[in-house]
Structure 1
């Protein structure tokens, strides 16, 4: 009797699609072993669709410039669990690094980069792409020979539409061809199950960006909207020309590097201490970068430690179990089963951040305290007092304790860390430039101290708390209004700017560029405008008293918006237009329903919900488009973490893979 066949199409062969295949291989191994037969009664037909190279996908293309760095160290990211015993699948990037490439086909440049990379070093994105390519190839080879797989095909094309049909779905393709070089344009694929793992997709500009682009084109100026840095044509910016840059996050560091190192400039070690470690030698072909953001300062550098979270950081107040119990009991002021971030989560995490800061300060600078041990004991008494909803007096008590028992130690205003120049005015651009340069130099010194820096350890506690909050969101414990108006409005920008920054190397480079005058800072809360009669862009800050900076060139240093309703992906637009999908509706504190950023989905695995509110049996969503039900969907899985915690993206892929096997067996 012939084995039944089950057709699966995975749209997206980047990290999420690769994780799905790796988890599918693991479950197929388990299923065939449990069946005790070399000829299972069902077999899979697998088709992977992506116009880009399978494994790296678009963002991690191995052919991109080598100077684009990840903002996580080698020990952190993965698309698979750690390699198990025997011939089990799995391979983290750190295992790939430590093994010298796991037998991958690497070119000389990739081999040299891998050999020079340490476990706490920051890999280039191209090198991480080589890892992804290797994992995909190894998993695909094993799947292609697996007794439960009838066929495996990679189609190098773009999926542009999905439509229902009697036994499943039909996917329309447009693109260059499949893995054998055949033209895929106009081809259609039949599938009983579809996995949407599309990753970063283009987005339509928001109204402000659209108008800026249209007006700039009309008067002969150059405006670059949000984009993946490796996709930007940096050659359009002429040497010596001023360029306005909106944004001082991770994309800014990519732009800064592309327009300096990418133009032949060189950073030379000075032999001086942190903050002054590099000097910039210009090539003479650089433009002048004038950058600004609401914070007025770039993201802080990561600390120099050999772990992801500092070893000295442990949370004693914020824990998943305690908050889960609070939600189950009915948190004050919240719907049943929900908690609020400001009311119930932040007061606990705030305690952990403060305790971490002052415990580290006592350890490294005990002379600041009259009686260090007594101070910590009294601080613990204040922080350990039961949290009562609506009672925030503990913060005043803690601050008075610091002022009384440690007059030489400043109070750590955590929220103010996100606005280092708040309410400060500067007379002239030079005064502000000097202030930011001092900020960069201090941040570099702070990072270099690693575990001995109180501020970086406090940020480490904040980052540890972020991981727990991500689980709260995924488990549905935070109500919609709290996510929209508290988590997204103030906490996410705070923790991103403090904990998601670049390696120390980038801050040293930026300081060197600021001293060389290649990068200049405009000021907090910038105002950008386009002055058509004068024929230039202009930017100024209400906190810096000086003439506006003008330029004929401007770019947005940010990624395209991750909002399905704003997507410029033909596939996502078609799904929404035809009612096969809808954005998730979220309730504000005023009772209004607004569109969330991601698709409406149900369960785990996450099944796509159509325009009528009915879940598809066979369409599953992974990654960025889950942002309405998860938080931090762009962050890679953490190597070695649990599927419900730091490796939740692997857990999502695992749940999809297991359900595909179950569906194949049932059908």
Structure 2
């Protein structure tokens, strides 16, 4: 590129957001520039409002009790594994390999690093990338929020919160989670607290960004949700208050500090998110489905939108059943028996009378004496569904029994527990679901009702999972009286007469408790129309960002083209100098929460970043 006087000028690229997607985009740009072996001039501005190189979620000043939920050996922020050269873009250690170098006493390939440690690791990546940039390429770290982006000639002008302006030829937006406007029940809770002295409502967000330390000891606190963020909130209220978990035989015992609040938690299921199975898989493990394939799914509908429940779900559940049954056969009769059964199921597809209907895997297993029920995601994700409990004691017994049973399965491992191995299928098949569902791959009704409203929550419950230690801590806190789970179908309501909130369960006798604070331990779903971010609001007002619609379903995700993901404005025009990837495009695409890659294996995270890097370095045309 040359300026008006004919002198060479640097191509200027702005990457907004330095979480995992922003960093991998910078890493892929650096790797491609190194491969070019040219003397081109490129300035890469990496912009983050919280911490450049770590972002908000993985910032390095957060407490160590906030943990990752993927084992360290299976996480890499680099797009390639180490080689004989220096650590650089395209060749770097996994999270475990880095962790072992800085904290060998605690590092384990099958352990769970803290999110702060992951932030230190990604800052290490950024340093390594910068130190090995080709001549003529600069990385400029900018700590500021981007408050506006508008067209400026053949580029874009970015207005920053530090009062500066930045002109860029191309912009990559990886802005992550933001705070949406409250609606419905959440707004009613917030309004109730705002109108009174005493009750408080803390909206859903990362636990590290909630003012949890402000809640006085002994305060009754209602916690909405029993998912991953629930465990973070619980850790802040216990470990963060000086409490300790100590071994007591094969369990944990909680030693209170006396500064804890009293936690009353609940969710629709009434069951804390089940634990990940003890890892038995190698770092570069990649699952290859036998039944859940594009060819099998497209047998009924060769082209056009799919119906998730009719066309996709049966094959996914058959794959779950296959892993469950094959694992049981392997454990009983040896490795060859499991492999032979898998091959027999694969052959059975060829002889199906209706090629759109998967084989009955459990019936085939029954012939070998393996008797299991077909996978039922409703039953698995709602273990107390249809049950009533006379009182708290009856529900507590059922709850502790269910948690203990889940821990026993987790201890068997994600290969040797038939249940945990089968649930890993839901995690391992996310990529296929993305390819089928993205960009109106499903009918509008099925997209909204089946994928987002029904399958998404159940998949998250069964496949996301915290480290097993979190479930052991739950049992210890239940026993210590610091935690109470109210029961299934939990409700969190204002009680104007009492001037407090009430937490209740309609299926547990006497389950109604008044609390002074309600903490929403759920990460809000992205929604362009309700996003309160100044940048989002201005992009929306300019018409550069619009909500993607699948037929009559306005998804709330930013409308973008297919790879390399240019935003589509209100006139239907793609802005080829802009790219949007990750959380803002959730529902246009599916499961944009992915934040890491397996060592040496390119998933969608890296493919997306590499496609954007390639387009940017061609000049954005």
TM, length-normalised to structure 2: 0.91
Question: 1:441 matched to which residue of 2?
Answer: 404
- Relative to structure 1, the CA distance from residue 245 to residue 599 in structure 2 (aligned partners, 3 Å threshold; closer, same or farther) is same
Q: Distance in 2 between matches of 1:641 and 1:478?
A: 31
**C-alpha contact (below 8 Å) 1:91/1:135 kept by paired residues:** no
Match of 2:615, SS?
Answer: helix
- Residues 363, 407 of structure 1: alpha-carbon distance in 2 compared, 3 angstrom cutoff: closer
Q: 1:52 and 2:26 equivalent?
A: no
Superposed displacement of residue 238, structure 1: 2.3
Q: Give the structure 2 partner of residue 195 of structure 1.
A: 172
Tell me the CA shift for residue 410 of structure 1: 5.4
How far the C-alpha of 1:595 sits from its partner, in A, is 2.0
1:68 is matched with 66
Shift of 1:613: 1.2
SS in 1 for 2:245: strand
The counterpart of 1:19, out of the listed 24, 29, 32, is 24
Distance 1:547 1:118 in 2: 42
Measure, in 2, the Cα distance between the counterparts of 1:607 and 1:495. Answer: 29
SS at match of 1:659: helix
Retained in 2: the 8 A contact 1:159–1:173? yes
Cα distance per residue 1:429-476 (max 9 Å; x no partner): 111111111111111111001122221121122322233212333476
DSSP-derived class of the 1:302 partner: coil
Partner of 2:3: none
Q: How does 1:407-418 map to 2 (within 5 A)?
A: 412-418=375-381
Please name the residue that 2:618 is paired with. 662
- 2:455 maps to which of 471, 491, 494: 491
Name the CA shift for 1:343/1:641 in 2 (closer, same or farther; >3 Å). Answer: farther
CA–CA separation in structure 1 for the residues paired with 2:332 and 2:450:
35
**Any conservation in 1 of the 2:487–2:511 contact (CA below 8 Å)?**
no
**Matching of residue 612 in structure 1 with residue 571 in structure 2:** yes
- Aligned counterparts of 2:45 and 2:619: Cα–Cα separation in 1: 16
Of residues 129, 144, 159, the one that matches 1:172 is 159
Partner SS for 1:544: coil
1:147 is aligned to 135
Q: Distance in 1 between matches of 2:305 and 2:351?
A: 23
TM-score (norm 1): 0.85
Deviates more, 1:543-552 or 1:253-262: 543-552
Q: Is residue 205 of structure 1 aligned with residue 170 of structure 2?
A: no
The residue number in structure 1 matching 2:354 is: 388
Alpha-carbon spacing, 1:193–1:88, altered in 2? closer, same or farther (3 Å) = same
- Equivalent residue runs for 1:284-303 within 5 Å: 284-303=258-277
Equivalent residues of 2:88, 2:128 under 8 A apart? no
- SS at 2:619 equivalent: helix
Choose which of 467, 478, 489 in structure 2 pairs with 1:503: 467
Corresponding residue of 1:515: 479
Residue 549 of structure 2 corresponds to residue 585 of structure 1: yes
- Deviation of 1:28 after TM superposition, in Å, equals 1.0
- For 1:105, the equivalent position in structure 2 comes to none
1:161 aligns with 2:148: yes
1:394-405 alignment, distance < 5 Å: none
Cα distance per residue 1:469-505 (max 9 Å; x no partner): 1233347644443322211122221111111010111
Q: Deviations over 1:130-176 (max 9, x none)?
A: 00111112223333xx3342x542222111111112222111111xx
Return the alpha-carbon distance in structure 2 between the equivalents of residues 410 and 346 of structure 1.
Answer: 16
**Which residue of the partner structure matches residue 350 of structure 1?**
317
**Following TM superposition, by how much is the alpha carbon of 1:98 offset from its aligned partner in structure 2, in angstroms?**
2.0
Matched with 2:434 is: 470
| Aligned pairs for 1:257-656 within 5 A | 257-272=235-250, 277-307=251-281, 315-323=289-297, 326=299, 331-332=300-301, 336-364=303-331, 386=352, 388=354, 406=369, 412-450=375-413, 451-474=415-438, 477-587=441-551, 593-640=552-599, 642-643=601-602, 647-656=603-612
Whether the 8 Å CA contact 1:56–1:133 is kept in 2: the answer is yes
1-side partners of 2:343 and 2:574: how far apart? 54
Please state how far the C-alpha of 1:8 moved relative to its aligned partner: 1.7
Per the alignment, do residues 73 and 405 of structure 1 end up closer, same or farther by CA in structure 2, a change over 3 Å counting? Answer: closer
Distance of aligned partners of 1:642 and 1:557 in 2 relative to their CA distance in 1, 3 Å threshold: same
**Contact between 2:82 and 2:91, CA under 8 Å: does it hold in 1?**
no
The answer to whether the 8 Å contact 1:562/1:597 transfers is: yes
Q: Structure 2: any 5+ residue segments left out of the alignment?
A: 1-5
SS of the residue aligned with 1:8? strand
Residue in 2 aligned with 1:125?
Answer: 115
2:200 counterpart residue number: 222
Q: Secondary structure at the match of 1:602?
A: coil
In structure 2, the CA distance between the partners of 1:660 and 1:431, relative to structure 1 (3 Å rule), is: same
Distance 2:92 2:554 in 1: 36
CA contact (8 A) 2:69 2:467 kept: yes
Partner Cα distance (2:63, 2:371) in 1: 48
In structure 2, relative to structure 1, the CA distance for the partners of 1:232 and 1:576 (3 Å cut) is same
Kindly tell me: are residues 485 and 466 of structure 1, through their superposed partners in 2, closer, same or farther at Cα, counting changes over 3 Å?
same
- Offset at residue 206 of structure 1 (A): 2.3
Matches of 1:512 and 1:92 in 2, distance apart? Answer: 43
Pair 1:363–1:132, CA change in 2 (3 A): same
Cα distance, 1:611 vs. partner?
1.4
Post-superposition CA distance 1:507-557 (Å, at most 9, x none): 111111112221111111122210112111112112112141111111111
- Secondary structure of residue in 1 paired with 2:556: strand
Q: Secondary structure of 1:617's match?
A: coil
Partner Cα distance (1:408, 1:321) in 2: 29
Partner Cα distance (2:340, 2:553) in 1: 51
Q: What is the count of residue pairs matched by the alignment?
A: 611
Distance 1:337 1:637, change over 3 A: farther
Structure 1: distance between partners of 2:119 and 2:236:
19
Distance 1:526 1:225 in 2: 17
Seen in structure 2, the aligned counterparts of structure 1 residues 78 and 401 have a Cα distance that, compared at 3 Å, is: closer
The alignment yields a C-alpha RMSD, in angstroms, of 3.0
Q: Which moved more, 1:70-79 or 1:383-392?
A: 383-392
Shift of 1:289: 0.9
Distance 2:69 2:390 in 1: 34
Residues 30-41 of structure 1 mapped to structure 2, 5 A cutoff: 30-31=35-36, 33=37, 39-40=39-40
Tell me the residue number matched to 1:590.
Answer: none
The 8 Å contact of residues 295 and 418 in structure 1, kept in 2 or not, is answered as yes
Write the distance in 2 (CA, Å) between the matches of 1:446 and 1:100. Answer: 28
Distance 1:77 1:576 in 2: 35
